[in-house]
Amino acid sequence: MNATQEQLNRLLSGATPSASELASLLKAQGKARDLIYTAADDLRRKTMGDAVYLRGIIEFSNVCKNNCWYCGIRCDNDNVARYRMATGEIVETAKNAKLWGCGTVVLQSGEDTYFTADILCGLLRRIKDETGLAVTLSVGVRTRGELAQMKAAGCDRYLLRFETTSNALFSAIHPDESFEHRVQCLTDLRDLGYQVGSGFMIGLPGSTLEMIAHDILFATRLKLDMIGCGPFLSHPDTPLAEKPLIEDRSVYYKTIALLRLLNPTAHIPATTAFDALEPDGRNLVLTRGANVFMPNVTPGKYRRLYQLYPNKPCVDEDGAACALCVRGRLASLGREIGAGPGHSVREP
């Protein structure tokens, strides 16, 4: 048996690899690389099945008080017109998401102080009452008190990426935040009974394969219900303009595959940023470990205004178009749409 297959077998038997072992797998090329993809796809089929859960994402506000160096909607970017969707419009969008086959809506925004916990609670209650969908919030760092309030209002899940485990890199690119604070928020979410999603950007400027390996290990140690990662894509209106992609594009995919191998029962989405990398990026990730798809259900008129990174797909589409597109994509992969909310299947 070859060396890569032996390494993969160790992972499959539940062994925790060292960072340098993972980094060597991230370097794999040719047949060795394909073995990683196949092992991840086989494991995904065994643990999560062929159903792909649809989480409709509603980008309900692009107002943000923060200045993260990578992000296109950072507050200092004057080239974006800012918008906030009204509560009624968000609820209508959630109803559409349900019609289009989503079992979950993900409410995402910048760190917008207008949307206080009270306002978000009103919104959560209406969406739960009027659609019964599972609801995920992705609205940045909040206090434990606010998180408790939103859980009580019916929120099921929360997404908050840690972005990188390098403290130095985290501080350099997040002028308004600290790594400890984010991790504290993740701990609070878990304590409060949320299903927790987190993850990181792959290939931030200055990161190495060793650092990506540490990110993979950290995400694994958090025992997340959902792990969302995508390539870092340089946005022209940010301090990280013109930073290159990782030369070996397969590193992005191997990262997802290794996350699957280390987290057999986590939900892993084929994140939108993979489609910005290449047109069938999200399809490819679904065959390399992922089991979740997050169609954009945001009303078309807002989509151009929510470009965290360039080449974001679907900005000229509307929710119905994406819903149709997803069906075609899954059919071409021989996968079906998951019924119901697609809650966490992780042991509590």
Residues in contact with ligand 5AD by CB under 6 A are 70-71, 161, 163, 201, 230, 232-233, 235, 273, 308-309
Question: Cβ 313 to ligand FES, closest distance in Å?
Answer: 6
The per-residue DSSP string of 239-256 comes to TTTTPPPPSSTHHHHHHH
317 binds, among ligand FES, ligand 5AD, none (CB under 5 to 8 A by kind): ligand FES
Nearest to ligand FES of 7, 96 (CB atom): 96
Nearer to ligand FES, 92 or 317 (CB): 317
Total count of residues recorded for the chain: 348
213 binds, among ligand 5AD, ligand FES, none (CB under 5 to 8 A by kind): none
- Distance of closest approach, residue 138 Cβ to ligand 5AD, in angstroms: 7
User: Which residue, 56 or 342, is less far from ligand FES as judged by CB?
Assistant: 56
Question: What is the nearest approach in angstroms of ligand 5AD to the Cβ of residue 238?
Answer: 7
Nearest to 80 by CA among 310, 277, 241: 310
Give the nearer residue to ligand 5AD in terms of CB position, either 8 or 137: 137
Query: Considering the complex, what minimum distance in angstroms separates the CB of residue 330 from ligand FES?
Result: 11
Q: Where are the beta strands (DSSP E) in the chain?
A: 51-61, 104-109, 134-138, 157-159, 195-198, 201-202, 226-227, 230-231, 269-270, 292-293, 336-337
Q: Which of 84, 87, 85 is nearest to 126 (CA)?
A: 87
> Binds 163, which of ligand 5AD, ligand FES, none (CB < 5 to 8 A, cut-off by type)?
ligand 5AD
Minimum Å distance from CB 255 to ligand 5AD? 13
Integer Cα distance of 23 and 122 in angstroms: 46
User: Please, which residue, 11 or 297, has the CB nearer to ligand 5AD?
Assistant: 297
Give CA–CA dist 65/328, Å, rounded: 38
Residues 245, 231 contacting (CB under 8 angstroms): yes
C-alpha to C-alpha distance for 294 and 102, rounded to whole angstroms: 9
Least distance from C-beta 218 to ligand FES, angstroms? Answer: 30
* Residue whose CB is nearest to ligand 5AD in the complex, by number: 309
Phi and psi at residue 286, to the nearest 5°: -65, -20
Q: Of ligand 5AD, ligand FES, none, which one does residue 123 interact with (CB within 5 to 8 Å by kind)?
A: none
* Cross-strand partners of 227: 198
Here the tokens at position 168 are 């130095």
Residue 326, binding choice from ligand 5AD, ligand FES, none, Cβ under 5 to 8 Å by partner class: ligand FES
Q: Which entry of ligand FES, ligand 5AD, none binds 309, CB below 5 to 8 A by partner kind?
A: ligand 5AD
Q: Which is nearer to ligand FES, 313 or 342 (CB)?
A: 313
Q: Which two tokens stand for residue 206?
A: 């200055």
Distance CA 315, CA 319 (A): 10
Binding site for ligand FES (CB under 6 A): 295-296, 313-314, 317, 321-322, 325-326
